[in-house]
Chains A and B, each alone.
Chain A
């Protein structure tokens, strides 16, 4: 083994060691019973409090697994920069792991990302390239791809929209946790589509445990919406990891209804939700109304703390 090879191997082992320590702060989130927004006999709703992880959102799971798999395979080393496009939460999750493990990070973020996200990424030391606010993360992905093409030696392009480590984090983590926390009684899983990793991975994982489980996907009802991270698939670039055969049913959620749930969840359940978390809960409540019996589980991706502007905008309109 040459000195350079030896150095690289030691670097890789050090990175994996650092990540191993951080793995204790990913997943294993509480399952919260929704009992005041909903109390229909025979139908229960539970929600995973996904903000109780390193980085404060559900994206801890895929971001960690993407980094872990890339380091393990030798694609991401201390010499390379981790590169991806994000609307924010995955970027923040990458940034906390990168800061703690000593990985250099470059993120492509649409310019209209919330101010809190911008501040967090700056504080965490990420290099941020702002992209067109007209094009959302579709445009940010194009910029990231071009950066990678122009200098493939410098970057490891994580490509969360097409990386199997994204949905597998939920297959091996979220789905198993839900199964254990409900003692195998979960009958319906419902979640919004963004990168589609949560729905695809959790859905596949639960179906492997119970082939009869019902999987319901959620989308915003309009292309211009306020559900950060969600995709209106008809008008967006569909992620490569999306499994269009998985869902038993598709429901659509209006931003206004999600914000109404956001308001009520705080007042009645003590849950201060992000708009997309509130949209998942809106979908779960609508589904509960249709059922006579069942155990519905959804995920609450993050809390309200990164959405001050848009929540104020909603409150001003009320």
Chain B
């Protein structure tokens, strides 16, 4: 399963878990698995249509998914997906 790394400010919504093992073939499916497991997280990550909200950056390995296939970017079983705040200071 792919691993999603949760940034500190969102861990309040994941019972303090820093990592989430996600099933799925794309970034979008992995994020859906995450927000299905932790419902309170959904409003902070995706909009009503299920698309990533503004200013939420997602990386597959070291690559920003915006330079790949965005949410449709395919993932592998050993993929590492990182959710990173768009800015440095917002959480402190």
Please state if B84 and A133 are interface contacts (CB–CB under 8 Å): yes
Q: Mark A104-141, 1 if CB is under 8 A from B, else 0.
A: 00000111111001000000000000000111111111
Is B92 an interface residue when CB atoms closer than 8 A count as contact? yes
Q: Which of A4-12, A35-43, A284-292, A309-317 forms contacts with chain B?
A: A309-317
Is A267 an interface residue when CB atoms closer than 8 A count as contact? no
Please state if B10 and A224 are interface contacts (CB–CB under 8 Å): yes
A236 with B86: in contact, given A224-B44, A225-B55 (CB under 8 Å)? no
Please state if B8 and A135 are interface contacts (CB–CB under 8 Å): yes
A224 with B92: in contact, given A135-B7, A255-B54 (CB under 8 Å)? no
- B8's partner among A113, A117, A136, A275 (CB-CB below 8 A) is A136
A113 to B91 CA separation, bound complex (whole angstroms): 12
Chain A residues whose CB sits within 8 angstroms of the CB of B10 once the complex forms: 223-224, 235
Please state if A225 and B92 are interface contacts (CB–CB under 8 Å): no
Chain B residues whose CB sits within 8 angstroms of the CB of A222 once the complex forms: 43-44, 53
Please state if B89 and A230 are interface contacts (CB–CB under 8 Å): yes
Is A256 an interface residue when CB atoms closer than 8 A count as contact? yes
- Nearest CB in chain B: distance from A67 CB, A: 20
Please state if A112 and B85 are interface contacts (CB–CB under 8 Å): yes
Q: Which of B64-92 contact A (CB under 8 A)?
A: 82-92
Please state if A110 and B89 are interface contacts (CB–CB under 8 Å): yes
Is A56 an interface residue when CB atoms closer than 8 A count as contact? no
* Interface residue tally on B, bucketed by range: 20 to 34
Can you report 9 A-B residue pairs in the complex whose CB atoms are below 8 A from each other?
A86-B89, A110-B88, A114-B88, A135-B91, A136-B90, A136-B92, A226-B54, A227-B87, A234-B12
Chain A residues whose CB sits within 8 angstroms of the CB of B54 once the complex forms: 226, 255-256, 313-314, 317
Please state if A225 and B87 are interface contacts (CB–CB under 8 Å): yes
A113 to B45 CA separation, bound complex (whole angstroms): 21
A229 to B88 CA separation, bound complex (whole angstroms): 8
Is A88 an interface residue when CB atoms closer than 8 A count as contact? yes
A184 to B88 CA separation, bound complex (whole angstroms): 37
A237 to B9 CA separation, bound complex (whole angstroms): 9
A49 to B6 CA separation, bound complex (whole angstroms): 37
Chain B residues whose CB sits within 8 angstroms of the CB of A236 once the complex forms: 9, 91-92
Q: Which of B1-42 contact A (CB under 8 A)?
A: 5-10, 12
A141 with B92: in contact, given A136-B85, A223-B10, A256-B54 (CB under 8 Å)? yes
Mark B residues whose CB is within 8 Å of A. 5-10, 12, 43-45, 53-56, 82-92
A228 with B87: in contact, given A141-B92, A313-B55 (CB under 8 Å)? yes
User: In chain A, what residue has the closest Cβ to B44?
Assistant: A222
Given A113-B88, A235-B8: 5 more A-B contacts, CB < 8 Å: A134-B84, A223-B91, A225-B90, A226-B87, A228-B90
Please state if B8 and A194 are interface contacts (CB–CB under 8 Å): no
How many residues of A are in contact with the other chain, CB < 8 A? Answer: 45
- B84's partner among A112, A139, A161, A237 (CB-CB below 8 A) is A112
Is A87 an interface residue when CB atoms closer than 8 A count as contact? yes
Is A48 an interface residue when CB atoms closer than 8 A count as contact? no
Chain A residues whose CB sits within 8 angstroms of the CB of B90 once the complex forms: 87, 136, 220, 223-232
A310 with B88: in contact, given A223-B10, A226-B55 (CB under 8 Å)? no
Please state if B44 and A133 are interface contacts (CB–CB under 8 Å): no
Please state if A235 and B12 are interface contacts (CB–CB under 8 Å): yes
A109 to B92 CA separation, bound complex (whole angstroms): 11
Please state if A310 and B92 are interface contacts (CB–CB under 8 Å): no
Please state if A87 and B92 are interface contacts (CB–CB under 8 Å): yes
- Nearest CB in chain A: distance from B46 CB, A: 11
Most chain B CB within 10 A, of A134, A140, A194, is at: A134
Please state if B53 and A224 are interface contacts (CB–CB under 8 Å): yes
Chain B residues whose CB sits within 8 angstroms of the CB of A141 once the complex forms: 92
- A137's partner among B43, B45, B55, B88 (CB-CB below 8 A) is B88
A111 to B45 CA separation, bound complex (whole angstroms): 21
